[in-house]
Structure 1
């Protein structure tokens, strides 16, 4: 199916471009004004998960290590280095010049406290599930050294240290013996390149450059983050010069406004992918069509993924055929592909005994044009699709109850370029996202997290991805593209992992 729709430049945008002059006050007062649609209520990333909170944490906090988004190499940050004493013991050395935003110096005790707090059951930290899988305890071994005792071999320790745990002062969450999980939610004391000077939850966050930051100082003095839920309001603010940066911009708006002097359209990569999960295990119908591998292969052949990527997502979006992002470690691209071929899809359906098609309830929660395109492609090969477009919460509840035969999902891997960040959550035996019913596959996926040998991990993922592709447990769709609109005066670098790093912005 062809999804191409030629979009004309919106008349209101064109008219504004001919009459409006972008405000230059932001550059003149060295203040970057940012719009986020997602409501910001909690500044402590140890207790949050969404992408918007990651963006903020990159500015207000630091971690033990940095992960280079281009090379995917781990570099020193608060830590100066590490050494494995044995397979389950890591010694980490620390800088002695890291300052908290209140002026106090970070210590080894602060680092150990943070990690030990996160894994405490009563901390109820959002990071606890990740770190608790591998950390037994953190122990201070010297003025600037901490020893991490692991529960078992875990190859992604440095990744978690680089991306998930924000360092806090001793007693931040339990001063005087009283637990306060929201202690840092509004009055954050971090160690990052920007410090919080004011915060009105759900409205506005003001950050100023932290002059005692131990690393490279950001170029821009002040960043104001405004909560603006409505994209139309964001557009108006961009056109009037009220904001300098917006993301998650719909493609048509990004292209239209970006074609005027009022804004610059930037499109960059994103580690998020889209896919269809199929109930191969037969949870919804033990003898249903989706338990037949030929039916699942037919569904893969029926989808015009390339046109979906090009015309519905745009930018750098590309069709995929793997249950992972091609940029992720271990995402072997040599596995079975099912090129767009409606006739092959019809032939496979006929071989499976469904020449006249069958009814399919397909669930989706975002990107409605994509859901409609998928439905149209499947309908074209004879499948009678009932598209159920619902809120994510409803989909999650139905999936947990094993009431979903097929759904369109997306996953961003938390910006982590490793197949582990998507494989475990979707194919382990303890997740309701796994509709394959394949116990051997679940064991194999977990085995890749039980060795530190990268070559061995790559081989394991190749085997697992080969099984997923051969059995067509998924119908992979495409990668996403991140669309931004920025002030013509703003230099905003795009990184290959798709994570916006506002702290690296500068004025032209």
Structure 2
């Protein structure tokens, strides 16, 4: 692996060579935004994919019933014009009458009902099925612009799920003529979003063109070309030569270095991903182990210099956090108890807990190795003998499922959802990620999903987050930062939820 100094020197040489040849930025001149992504793009249908790259593309090619305001987290109309709860488990959604698919056909209630019923059905095997099956019984056509959703139970996040995950398809898309074709939209997508697919070579290039029949505000840039370029060095060379206008997931040191040249601009924005240490408070690995003692868990929190980690190891807009959620998420109460960095307090708590000389701790991690090493060093400094096990994510997941991990450094992006529900249910209810052993907490978290009253939900999550902090079930670490390199000719707004929205870009 190249050191930061060596990478910077190599980059400076490349910039000098490129500068000598003169800037070749072409995106603005032909109204084409050229994007580089390291991850292979193999399937254009977000109903059958995951990963951040596919979310970004779905925002370009598809539309959902509702939108989520990235700044306020409020639910806004999109394909839907409004909704009415007939009762707690019956939801009527009204539709616009001017939405068309990219082939020119009009979207109707039949298409919407088909999409939801298909994804919820046993034959779909959709990646989105888990989102709807927890709440959807059936979707019923009431009239050409009204769909009635019959819910299995009260579910306060139904509109948010509709705004975040389910991409609308024409009736019969996946089972025309009775034959199931799950990849029907994988290569030849027909969506309802602001851009239509012109051509697609899986793993190589996707070409999009602004769809003139789009029902919403037309994007400023006419064409977008997405290229798969796995190597970060090649991406940067393309950016410097004008072959690419936009990069993301850029390592901080490289983003800062290249951003100081006239060839690129470094943008650093928020990301809903947070880092944390999960501690085996339940004693699944050792019924009488030190981590079952709340004083030990509080000591671990005090031992960690999270502000320094956030500033120097994660960088950009990353910040230290003290709650088991992202501060921008609905219900993430920042009045919860915090454990400021205080090694002396950590040692005193360890002594009070009966561990004046510390204890051995096996700590697992799978990413951000420098941060994991900093965590281990801080714990070592207060007497805890850390065995840092840096492994692949798959290995960690398997060991966690078998209850073989006493503590691990994890991260969670909440799928870009600015709601505490997106992190609390997974980590403190029915999941192998729940190390708390606290049944009352589990019931508290689940109860927040049994009311449609936002104020009540917020109060429940406030209590839950406060209890998690008081019991120190986690050692929260930091939020993450999203680093971008863009052409100097490009306006690319950064949204508070950290999701890149290329459709909002424009030329300077």
Task: Provide the TM-score with structure 1 as the length reference.
Answer: 0.97
| 3-state SS in 2 of match to 1:176 | helix
> Residues 492 and 505 of structure 2 are in contact (CA less than 8 Å); yes or no, is this contact kept in structure 1?
yes
Alignment of 1:347-496 (within 5 A): 347-428=348-429, 430-496=430-496
> Residues 108 and 145 of structure 1 are in contact (CA less than 8 Å); yes or no, is this contact kept in structure 2?
yes
Alignment of 1:46-85 (within 5 A): 46-85=47-86
Distance in 2, matches of 1:445 and 1:153, equals 15
Distance in 2, matches of 1:288 and 1:401, equals 17
Match of 1:204 in 2: 205
Distance in 2, matches of 1:385 and 1:235, equals 38
| 3-state SS in 1 of match to 2:123 | helix
Of residues 52-61 and 177-186 in structure 1, the stretch that sits farther from structure 2 once superposed is 177-186
Q: Deviations over 1:440-469 (max 9, x none)?
A: 111110000100111111111111111111
Q: Deviations over 1:355-404 (max 9, x none)?
A: 11111111111111111111111111111111111111111111111111
Residue 275 of structure 1 deviates from its aligned partner by: 0.5
Match of 2:131 in 1: 130
Q: Deviations over 1:199-232 (max 9, x none)?
A: 1111111111111111111111111111112212
Long gaps (5+) in structure 2: none
Match of 1:315 in 2: 316
Residue 24 of structure 1 deviates from its aligned partner by: 2.0
> Residues 363 and 407 of structure 1 are in contact (CA less than 8 Å); yes or no, is this contact kept in structure 2?
yes
Distance in 2, matches of 1:199 and 1:117, equals 25
Residue 134 of structure 1 deviates from its aligned partner by: 0.7
| 3-state SS in 2 of match to 1:467 | helix
Of residues 10-19 and 47-56 in structure 1, the stretch that sits farther from structure 2 once superposed is 10-19
Residue 18 of structure 1 deviates from its aligned partner by: 3.8
Match of 2:13 in 1: 15
Task: Provide the TM-score with structure 2 as the length reference.
Answer: 0.97
Structure 2 CA distance for partners of 1:381 and 1:7, relative to 1, 3 Å: farther
> Residues 195 and 209 of structure 1 are in contact (CA less than 8 Å); yes or no, is this contact kept in structure 2?
yes
Distance in 2, matches of 1:171 and 1:251, equals 46
> Residues 9 and 256 of structure 1 are in contact (CA less than 8 Å); yes or no, is this contact kept in structure 2?
no
Match of 1:503 in 2: 503
Provide the alpha-carbon RMSD of the alignment.
Answer: 1.4
Distance in 1, matches of 2:4 and 2:94, equals 57
Q: Deviations over 1:54-100 (max 9, x none)?
A: 00000010000111111222111111111111111111111111111
Residue 8 of structure 1 deviates from its aligned partner by: 9.2
Match of 1:339 in 2: 340
Distance in 2, matches of 1:223 and 1:470, equals 49
> Residues 271 and 479 of structure 1 are in contact (CA less than 8 Å); yes or no, is this contact kept in structure 2?
yes
Distance in 2, matches of 1:340 and 1:238, equals 41
Number of corresponding residues: 503
Distance in 2, matches of 1:72 and 1:164, equals 15
Distance in 1, matches of 2:368 and 2:204, equals 26
Alignment of 1:19-168 (within 5 A): 19=17, 20=19, 21-168=22-169
| 3-state SS in 2 of match to 1:27 | coil
| 3-state SS in 2 of match to 1:217 | coil
